[in-house]
Structure 1
Amino acid sequence: MHAIGHYIQNINPKSKVVYVSSEKFTNELINSIKDDKNEEFRSKYRNVDVLLIDDVQFIAGKERTQEEFFHTFNTLHEASKQIILSSDRPPKEIHTLEDRLRSRFEWGLIADIQAPDFETRIAILKKKADVENLNVPNEVMVYIATHIKSNIRELEGALIRIVAYSSLTNKEISVELASEALKDIISNKNAKQITIELIQDIVSSYYGLKIDDFKSSRRTRNVAFPRQIAMYLSRKLTDTSLPKIGEEFGGRDHTTVIHAYEKISQSLKKDDSLQATVAELTKKISQK
């Protein structure tokens, strides 16, 4: 909502834009009644070019607030002004909202704003890195996009945090450093959702193999290389120890896991096709 307000003022600096949460609108109304300043309150919200109200669902059930907003809405609409509302549900699902307000809310465009998908999150991070002139490996952006899914602000904040942490510790930016820098903001929920079994299932299906192939002693390239990718992703996307990862891949030694991780990490730095493959696999895993 703030971004919308800033955008409007950038393209039309003379426009009068007012942003308010529904809670603040209600509190200001209560104070205006208490202090006998009703006209001052009405003037503030009815003499604007654009009114943005956040979380409008919270006025439901508040009779006086709904009454006041009904007249504010009508005044602005009749003057051909813009009204932008946000809610956590569509008007028809705000059950204690007055019908006359519900019908007005449905007059305009209703847009369902979802969290950005994986590709969009990657694009946002790349654009931010370009704007800020940051040199961040693609695999780190994939890591961020896999774990931070909520909004643009958190995505960009995670990127800046990793760069700052790299500078502070004088360490090269890598997935390991990103994991360390973001460990207190990446939810345990996401970590628990991603298991080695899930990774094995996704990677084996992608390459037309069976999970048992990863646990077998077969060392032909058509099995060994996908197995290394699965090991790489198991280390990158889970908190599982190296010995445990090796155990899940047919009882292999932890040094085999380290070798697989390092080999794929090095290949990712110079192989664009592999980068795309790992990004696609990470997306599939994160969406499960």
Structure 2
Amino acid sequence: MKEQIVADGDAGEGDFQEGWTRVKKRLKVELGDDVFSSWFSRIDCEGVVAGVVTLSAPTQFLKSWIKSHYNDRLVALWKEEIGEVRRVEVVRRSALKMPAQVKLVSAEAAPPLAPVQTEPAEDCSAGSPLDPRLTFASFCEGASNDVAYRAARAVAAAPEGSTPLYNPLYIHAGVGIGKTHLLQAIAHESRQINRQRRVVYLTAERFTSQFVTSLRDRTALDFKEMLRSTDILLVDDMQFLTGRSTQQEFCHMLNALLDSSRQVVVASDRAPGELEGLEERVRSRLKGGVVVGMGRPDVQMRRKILEMRYGAARERDPRLLIPEVVLDYVAQMVVSNGRDLDGALNRLVCRAQFSDHPVTVEACELAIADLIGDREPKRIRIEDIQKVVARHYNVSRQDLVSARRTRTVVKPRQIAMYLAKTMTPRSFPEIGKRFGGRDHTTVLHAVRKIEGMVGADQKLSDEIELLRRLLQD
């Protein structure tokens, strides 16, 4: 016989709190520490009566969020822990009218109890889910985003109650550059600093959906009150905010938050003045804040992003092996945005884990061909070869054409001559002339030497393959 939890005397050995403790442990494993702490650290279990679990939350917003996002999972976990659970109710703590002490007794012996009084207002949950991976620690800072990054960190670290320095903070950039990452990092960091801080991350589409739903369900006042009581409001994809009434409500909310010194951060794919579909008064309010743009990552930053992502992948699978020369190739060739870089690395990780063949530059080229795009064959000049080789081996172009014969210069010079012969229509005498007036026999010797080394030295072969692809870019 399954047991039910009812109000009656002291809590016994089978106290329902033990079941709630087990449910919370499982939730923490499933969601991760950050997400669990954000939503469940202040949720209490008040009892289980006739198959109904009653949880309590301190605020209307938290109550609405739990019911909207986790109700089905909570029901499933409770069923696994204590059996015959029909549903989970979430109420505000102030609305509870339950005895202080409860214990387990047989369901057949359980006296009927009056239902718990809950608020009549319908749910008006707001906020979009946060990705626990999008933190400041996983964000790659560089010259193209350092101002936005530092402003975001300042917002997250601002003492509670202080007047915001950048309000609203408006971050704009193209797709995949890191806007969403920064907004969610602010949410994670500010909550970690102060668990009581009310932080809401919203996409413009989610704001529109919640606003329309609140009008339909006649809970608009609750929706407005919840948003206007936040300490930090983060609005993503502002370019998708459409509809006259929706924009008007957003403007009223924005004014209320700014006038009460609440922090607002907005992200979009363009500057506020370029949001043609947005009402002028909303654009004006956004332009009155701090507007910061982020550009595409340069090659050094792209390489750093790949290094961070590859390091994280190796923590999960220490056997993973992607050669440095392949990562160099990806950093050089995938120039659009960080999201494409992640996609490229994910493909290489999959290949490294499930293919019997090593990940080479040639294999990489095939794997990420669609991220690079079609290119017309490029006419390669000897000057281009000298420039690329010099940069790769950290020597100057002048060194390659000079009379210097140190080891650090001779090998790059011979490789450059080899590439000049195999990638251009120039003759040996012409190549020799471009390398400081050398005799054609010197060029012939260099070409034959590199040809012989390539067959025996896989590392050199990979380096030359990388140089070829960089020249063809």
TM-score normalised by structure 2 residue count? 0.44
Asked if the contact 1:196–1:248 (Cα under 8 Å) also holds between the matched residues in 2, the reply is no
Aligned partner of 1:108 among 266, 281, 289: 289
d(CA) in 1 for partners of 2:295 and 2:453? 34
Q: Which residue is 2:223 aligned to?
A: 41
Asked if the contact 2:322–2:348 (Cα under 8 Å) also holds between the matched residues in 1, the reply is no
d(CA) in 2 for partners of 1:52 and 1:203? 48
Evaluate the alpha carbon distance shift between residue 150 and residue 40 of structure 1 in structure 2; reply closer, same or farther with a 3 A threshold.
farther
Query: 1:137, CA displacement in angstroms?
Result: 1.9
For the residue of structure 2 that corresponds to 1:32, the secondary structure is helix
Query: 1:136, CA displacement in angstroms?
Result: 2.8
Q: Which residue is 1:176 aligned to?
A: 362
Query: 1:200, CA displacement in angstroms?
Result: 6.0
Aligned partner of 2:416 among 220, 226, 229: 226
Evaluate the alpha carbon distance shift between residue 148 and residue 16 of structure 1 in structure 2; reply closer, same or farther with a 3 A threshold.
farther
Query: 1:32, CA displacement in angstroms?
Result: 1.9
For 1:182, the aligned partner's letter is: I
Residue 186 (1) aligns with residue 376 (2): no
Evaluate the alpha carbon distance shift between residue 169 and residue 7 of structure 1 in structure 2; reply closer, same or farther with a 3 A threshold.
same
Structure showing greater Rg: 2
Root-mean-square deviation over aligned CA pairs: 3.9
Q: Encode CA deviations 1:67-125: one digit per residue, 9 max, x unaligned.
A: 10111112211232221111222112223433322221123221111221111000111
Q: Encode CA deviations 1:111-151: one digit per residue, 9 max, x unaligned.
A: 11122111100011123333443543221112211333333
d(CA) in 2 for partners of 1:260 and 1:15? 66
For 1:192, the aligned partner's letter is: R
For the residue of structure 1 that corresponds to 2:264, the secondary structure is strand
Aligned partner of 2:204 among 22, 30, 47: 22
d(CA) in 2 for partners of 1:261 and 1:166? 26
For the residue of structure 1 that corresponds to 2:289, the secondary structure is coil
Query: 1:168, CA displacement in angstroms?
Result: 0.8
Q: Which residue is 1:242 aligned to?
A: none
d(CA) in 1 for partners of 2:274 and 2:453? 49
Unaligned runs of 5+ residues in structure 1 are 210-219, 232-245
Evaluate the alpha carbon distance shift between residue 179 and residue 39 of structure 1 in structure 2; reply closer, same or farther with a 3 A threshold.
same
For the residue of structure 1 that corresponds to 2:268, the secondary structure is coil
Q: Which one has the bigger helix percentage?
A: 1
d(CA) in 1 for partners of 2:226 and 2:452? 64
d(CA) in 2 for partners of 1:31 and 1:260? 72
Asked if the contact 1:166–1:177 (Cα under 8 Å) also holds between the matched residues in 2, the reply is no
Asked if the contact 1:229–1:260 (Cα under 8 Å) also holds between the matched residues in 2, the reply is no
Query: 1:203, CA displacement in angstroms?
Result: 2.2
Query: 1:247, CA displacement in angstroms?
Result: 8.2
For 1:24, the aligned partner's letter is: R
For 2:354, the aligned partner's letter is: L
Q: Which one has the bigger strand percentage?
A: 2
Asked if the contact 1:163–1:173 (Cα under 8 Å) also holds between the matched residues in 2, the reply is no
Residue 123 (1) aligns with residue 299 (2): no
d(CA) in 2 for partners of 1:196 and 1:12? 56
What is the aligned-residue identity percentage? 27
Unaligned runs of 5+ residues in structure 2 are 1-179, 315-319, 391-396, 399-409, 428-447
Q: Which residue is 1:162 aligned to?
A: 348
Q: Encode CA deviations 1:186-225: one digit per residue, 9 max, x unaligned.
A: 24x3x315x331576632566779xxxxxxxxxx989763
d(CA) in 2 for partners of 1:199 and 1:26? 55
For 1:186, the aligned partner's letter is: L
Aligned partner of 1:82 among 257, 263, 285: 263
